Amino acid sequence: MSNSNQPTPVRQQPKFSVAITTKGYQTLINNTLGDPERSKRFIASITSAVAVNPALQDCDAGTILAGALLGESLNLSPSPQLGQYYLVPFECRLKGPDGKAIWVFDDNGNHVTDSKGKWVAATEKRAQFVLGYKGYVQLALRSGHYSDLDVMEIRAGEYLGKDPATGKPRFQFIEDDDVRDEAPVIGYMAFFEYLNGFRKVLYWSKQKMMNHADMYSPAYSAAAHKKILDGEIPEQDMWKYSSFWYKNFDDMAKKTMLRQLISRWGVMSTELQQAFVQDTKFAAIGDGNEIITTPEEQLPLPIAQPEATTVVENVDLSNL
């Protein structure tokens, strides 16, 4: 729609619980998965995942199904408890055929404005496939090239600096788990070892990770995070900070470490390459039941999400 005062109708999408029962969706699932029993299990698992997440229930059904089919093609579970991948809800601004925003109008044909007098854009809730750090571990180990792969927080006193001869990070871990759990996190370490014995270790300080998130995640601010940690943000304003960089910084940091480590030095299977490419991209089931991917640069701002909906970032679109 153009920026004129002529309203354009906003398309209405069926709820996922309704869409998943339609012949078109059922046929697409069966044709994609090829096995009736597998199709039944898939439908049951994704319907369950959507049912327990109120924010997902309001998302465009096509984006839910496209993300879930991607997860199924990678043989990953949608269960939030397993943390392999997530379907994360976003609030997306709609655009007309001319590429301009679709604005909201009242019954008299006038622009609806917010408290600051700005025009309100029409939006649509969509679900996005986001790979969890445990999903990266699963896909890498499944490739058959790695004998070991892990990522962890580094606590105060454990990082001993770089080896002066090789430049590799050195650590001395606190042996008592109870004592270790009480020590503050100062950084993150990821490592892998190939079957032939080759090893690679990567270490980032927590400050470097915060700087990285501040640069690449539009929904995260290191300065705002510090205010949250210092208790300077009122509870009634916390809904504004929906990024999981705020809610679960450590898990987001682990995902980033694995992406950095594997993409630079690791052997990547076809499955893992596919996951890297599709992670944090929108996809939807089109009118012809084909899967359409939306370019990253067109993705908009996130919406707040219930705490129970997992532990991953819901907006970072570039380098995580």
What tokens were used for 116?
A: 């600051």
Using the predicted structure, report yes or no on whether residue 301 has a pLDDT greater than 50. no
Give Cα separations from 224 to 12, 45, 206, 218, 242 (angstroms): 36, 37, 16, 12, 12
What pLDDT score was predicted for residue 172? 96
Which burial class, exposed, middle or buried, applies to 245 when counting CB atoms under 10 A from its CB (0-12, 13-18, 19+)? Answer: buried
Which of 17-21, 72-76, 173-177 has the lowest average pLDDT? Answer: 17-21
Place 283 in a pLDDT band, splitting at 50, 70 and 90. Answer: low
What whole-number distance in Å separates Cα of residue 26 and Cα of residue 36? 10
More confident residue, 88 or 209: 209
As a whole-number percent, the residues of the chain with pLDDT over 70 amount to: 82
Across residues 164-169, what is the average pLDDT? Answer: 93
What whole-number distance in Å separates Cα of residue 188 and Cα of residue 173? 13
Using the predicted structure, report yes or no on whether residue 187 has a pLDDT greater than 90. yes
What whole-number distance in Å separates Cα of residue 93 and Cα of residue 5? 18
What's the whole-model pTM score? 0.69
Which of 153-167, 199-213, 306-320 has the lowest average pLDDT? Answer: 306-320
What whole-number distance in Å separates Cα of residue 233 and Cα of residue 112? 30
CB 129 within 8 A of CB 281: yes
The model's pLDDT over 48-58, given as tens digits with 9 standing for 90+, comes to 888 888 788 88
Give Cα separations from 298 to 17, 129, 207, 295 (angstroms): 27, 15, 29, 6
Domain borders along the chain are 1-133+270-320, 144-267
Across residues 92-99, what is the average pLDDT? Answer: 74
What pLDDT score was predicted for residue 310? 28
